[in-house]
Chain A
Amino acid sequence: MTIATKISSSSAAGMIKAIESGSKHLVIKRFTLRYPEQKLKFIGDGYQFDPKRGVGIAGSRGRHILFHDKCTGCQLCAIACEGIAEAIGMVKVDEQWKHNKKSIMPQIDFGKCVFCGLCVDACPFYALYMTNDYELSSFTKEHLIYTPAQLAIKPKYDGNVELKIDNMGATHG
């Protein structure tokens, strides 16, 4: 249990080590990810939840995607979010589905959503997943409220840069 070390070095040796360390970094590659030109790659499609096994499938938690052919309008996602961020509200849709008698589907306000994914955990019908898409900025607050039709669109995200480590240092790209 005893590792009581003491740092001891003479002044000159310490300064020389510092200068050497600083100059060594002039030849190491830069670490920065140049964001709009380079984007990070994510493995998989996004966070999903399997209600039969009761456990989630690892993935990135971005914007939600709603499958209209599975959603029954049970409101469990809205109830789960009520205590967290109150970002999901149910709205009436024009589509007629056999399994959605009341014709209501969730609409998500991304101005309030904290992207925790507990709504995905709450859905028992495999209808709500999350995707890789995180670029959701808009000019007005109203545009951030995504209707069920907007939530059904599959996003196109093509990031392909990941962290690479070699003996010259770590870089992105």
Chain B
Amino acid sequence: MASIIRLILWILIIVSLVGLPLIFIILFYLPLPPVNGDVLTPYLFLSMMVDPTRTLPILHFIIHTDLFKVAVFPGFAFAALLAAVTIFVERKFLAKMQLRIGPLYCGKIEGILQLLADGLKLIAKEIIIPSGADKPIFWAAPIAFVATAAAVVALIPVAPGWVVANVNVGIIAVFAILGFFPLIALLFSWASNSKYPFIGGLRALHQMIAFEIPFFLSALSVVILSGSLNLTDIAKAQHPYWYIFFLPISAFVFFISSLAELERIPFDLPEAESEIVAGWLTETSGMIFGLIQLGSYVKVYALSALFVVLFLGGWAGPQIFPKELAHGPTAGLMGLLTLQGVYNGVTVNAIFWFTVKTFGIIMLMLLPRGISPRIRIDILLHTGWYKLIVLTFINMFIALALIYGGILGPGGLLTAH
């Protein structure tokens, strides 16, 4: 009994001395949104809670703020959700190919909550840092990994107008950020102060650097055809026909290079070798390992989304969602139910087709994991530096021929006007 009274006393003290001043300070400094011509005061907000049909403008306002775009929709939470779904689907898909059941016991239906269990386990584990390791870099490198992967996600347009950072040199920015990954791998493996991460880090460096050149040379053909470096413009320029029909070799080279950048099988030499225990990830444990796995799968999403934007037309697809849920402006309860002002048929359709195509490319990236062994380092370097660069040059000539032949580009036969 005494403990309950003490609890209530503490709650009252904290709310009145800390909570209320915080609310007033925040209300002074936040830009209060204008709703239907009025400024949103707490009184207006309380009256909206009584009448729920007036909450839609608030929702509209929140969806179009920058914080929402960065954190939730085309930004981090969306990517993390797709990454989590990818990990689960990958395990089940590989299991079906190998004639077994994947996760089964977590969650009632075929192990759906397996990722939650894995996450909880990783959070609860102890993080062991080897003696002699370089502590600041050891802690900073996994966070930098996830941050860089999220930075790539921030540049990719999901729907017309829905991109976190609409940069006019979008593609160059993506490749500049991607060039940071080999550095992180090398720094982390050097900071681990152990033999096996050292070998793994060197291999990661060689692999990622070798495949960066075919990567952006294949994107160069797309830039030649579309005439702009902005990712949204590239997606819009593929209006009648997608670029994969004109540049199939480039798409193939881009796919193989992205498998190598992502360190997926058959290119996972730096990570999970049988002679260098776990490569540059050997000394990770607990949440550091969890962060690196999250970063890897966010990178999978980012690079497949990039593939979709460059070659598969981004969000283009037949309009299967109705453009408006109601004919003409309505108010009141019908307005609430038809999501007046919030629902936009074109956007929803774009998001749907983008997600479907990205997921298809992710499944295509999961397939080599079931059917091929690991490749050896010298065959990998030979492929990256010789064969793929030759293929990209062939494709660049095809792209230039299409432009100068008057088929694509401004005033061409197949360009939509």
- Give CA–CA (A19, B372) in the complex, Å: 9
- Give CA–CA (A19, B367) in the complex, Å: 8
Contact-residue size bin, chain A (C-beta under 8 Å from the other chain): 10 to 19
> A27-35, A45-53, A97-105: which one contacts chain B?
A27-35
Contact of B371 among A21, A30, A31 (CB under 8 A): A21
- Give CA–CA (A30, B100) in the complex, Å: 5
Query: Nearest Cβ in chain B — how far from A9, in angstroms?
Result: 14
- Give CA–CA (A22, B101) in the complex, Å: 16
Query: Nearest Cβ in chain A — how far from B330, in angstroms?
Result: 48
Residue of B nearest to A17 (CB): B371
Contact of B101 among A18, A21, A26, A32 (CB under 8 A): A32
- Give CA–CA (A22, B363) in the complex, Å: 14
Contact A18 B99 (CB under 8 A): no
Residue of A nearest to B369 (CB): A22
A-chain residues with CB within 8 Å of residue B372 when the two chains form the complex: 18
A-chain residues with CB within 8 Å of residue B370 when the two chains form the complex: 22
Contact A30 B367 (CB under 8 A): no
Given the interface pairs A18-B371, A18-B372, A19-B367, the reply to whether A25 lies near B100 with Cβ below 8 Å is no
Contact pattern, A 83-125, Cβ under 8 Å of B = 1, otherwise 0: 0000000000000000000000000000000000000000000
- Give CA–CA (A169, B95) in the complex, Å: 16
Interface set, chain A 72-89, CB cutoff 8 A to B: none
Q: Told that A25-B97, A30-B99, A34-B104 touch, could you supply 6 new A-B pairs with CB distance under 8 A?
A: A18-B371, A22-B367, A23-B97, A23-B367, A25-B98, A30-B95
Binding site for B on A (CB under 8 A): 18-19, 21-23, 25-26, 28-32, 34, 169
For this complex, 26 residue pairs linking A to B, each with C-beta atoms less than 8 Å apart, are: A18-B371, A18-B372, A19-B367, A21-B371, A22-B97, A22-B371, A25-B96, A25-B97, A25-B98, A25-B99, A26-B96, A26-B97, A28-B99, A29-B99, A30-B95, A30-B96, A30-B99, A30-B100, A30-B101, A31-B99, A31-B100, A32-B99, A32-B101, A34-B101, A34-B104, A169-B99
